[in-house]
Amino acid sequence: MHIILMFTQDPAFQETLRNAIGAQDLVFDAVSGLRNFTWYFPGNFPCLTLIDCDSIPTEESKLIQNTLPLRYPCRIILCRNISQDILQTEYLSDLISDLRKKSVPIPSENLFPLEKIRDFSARICDPLSSSFDFRSCKNILPMYQFFSCLTDVPSEKNRLRLLALLTHHFKDFTLLPFRGSAYILICWAHVDDYENFANFRGHFIHKMHMLPSYRYIPQIFFGCIHNSLFGIYKSFLEAKETFYINKLYHKADSFDEISSITKHAVKPMGLVLIERQIRSDLEYRNGESVIRLVQEWFEESLREGHDLEDIQMDLLNLYSSIKYVIFDMYALHGTRIKNGWEAYEIFKIQTVDELREWFFDWINYTLNNVQVKKSQGFNIEDIKEFIEHHLMDHLTLENTASFFGYNQSYFSTMFKKETQETFISYVSREKMKKAYELLKGGHKVSETASLLGYNDLKYFRTLFRQYFQVTPSSVLKQKE
């Protein structure tokens, strides 16, 4: 598929071009100006941009011509009297036909034109949306990672300053309108570039937090990095929660701060162990012992001498970890669970006894309004695709489980259940298949072993022979 981007305020302009250049592999995106243009998600870009000079003011047209090439290396054509100039439409038709032959098409599974972006944005803005409304997005753009931010942009001047700052440091982003003057900022990078992407996010947070020269930029609330289009929504929820904690409790810029904050330098090990048991009970035993474990958690907190403020902050962390386990593994039926209002109720309660009673009520209500859906949250095809693309990287059970947001134990159990073999066995077999391809392609044995992460050449030869009953050298000789 190919995208044709049109800047016009005249519906007749759109209709004329669609009729003149209509083709099944073309998507026409029309916007009334740069102010209303939403930058495309990764992997999507226009192969041609058309500006309707009859309806777009000259200053706006110049701004488009100066701004668009910073993001997309596409050709820009200025059009006049398009509905009356047959030769011009014929020229455009021939030009697009030529571009379709020369430019790389966008795979249909990754195609995300402006209409779909607007629909995605509307779903995020819907207060009744939950993570289960976005499950289908897990398979869209799985090889990209995103983080979302929430910010208030009270004026056009502030918006342009924010865009200028971002464009100067980073080009892969888009800005979606949220509510009123609030915007959702979304940044992305390929999964192979995680380290640079994480450094950029940290640098961005530091600039917003520390440098006086950026005070004219509105405060920005940062979510964490997640992969796939579903990750945009998860990161948005984190940015939104940071905003409310900043407003209701204490200053915070990023979800990292509120998800790890505690008044104690080190959380007591007794509480850590109980919290692990609570998560494990939800993951493996459908929450059979959660009520008893929560009671133990409160008793342990009081034994440690924690006051109401301490318990509120620790309980926010516990609540967040329980919520994410539930969102990943269960279908939710109660809208109260989906909206996450409970995080803000925690800080309105005045006594520990009332807080304990409230949390018991929330746990009971939650467990009575869920339906187990463990297999839905574990997409083995996504994981296999990830492994296939990272066979030449330092691939471990730990970093793969972490990438998909699972703990190692659960990931290992579910992987073996889905594939009937362990993660290590599966990766070894896939690496040997890749080794065979590389050797057949003419790579030396030592080079192939090194590319696949085997520093011990003798071990690599032994493992290869176990799988194929021939030596790597014999496969290379066949090529020769």
CA atoms within 13 A on the CB side of 69: 8
CB-side neighbour CA atoms (13 Å) of 310: 17
Residue 78 main-chain phi, psi, to 5 deg: -90, 130
Q: pLDDT under 70 in the chain at which residues?
A: 22-23, 83-87, 128, 130-132, 135, 209-217, 248-249, 259-267, 283-286, 324-344, 369-377, 405, 479-480
Contact residues for 455 (Cβ-Cβ < 8 A; gap 6+) = 449
Please name which of 262, 67, 292, 238 lies closest in space to residue 163, comparing C-alpha atoms: 67
Selecting from 3.40.47.10, 1.10.10.60, 1.10.645.10, 3.30.70.890, what CATH number does the domain 378-479 have? 1.10.10.60
What mean pLDDT, rounded, does the chain reach? 79
Q: Give kind and range of the element (H or E) at residue 29.
A: strand 26-31
Q: Would you state the pLDDT for residue 432?
A: 93
The enclosing H or E element of 27 equals: strand 26-31
CA distance 113 to 38: 10
Using a CB cutoff of 8 Å and minimum separation of 24, what contacts does 163-167 make? 165/214, 165/217, 167/70
One DSSP character per residue, 267-332 reads --HHHHHHHHHHHHHHHHSTTTTHHHHHHHHHHHHHHTT--HHHHHHHHHHHHHHHHHHHHHHEEE
Check residue 265 and give its pLDDT: 40
Gap between the Cα atoms of 51 and 77, Å rounded:
6
Residue extents of the structural domains in the chain: 2-110, 114-258, 269-374, 378-479
Multiple choice CATH, 2-110, 3.10.20.30, 3.40.50.2300, 3.20.20.10, 3.40.50.720:
3.40.50.2300
pTM for the model:
0.53
45 with 21: CB under 8 angstroms?
no
Strand partners, 144: 190
Residue with tokens 């949250």: 377
Structure confidence at residue 219 (pLDDT): 81
Q: What angle do CA 375, 379, 384 make, to 5 degrees?
A: 140
What is the pLDDT, as a whole number, of residue 427? 92
Print burial letters for 211-243: b (CB count within 10 Å at least 16), e (below 16): eeeeeebbebbbbbbbbbbbbbbbbbbbbbbbb
pLDDT of residue 134: 74
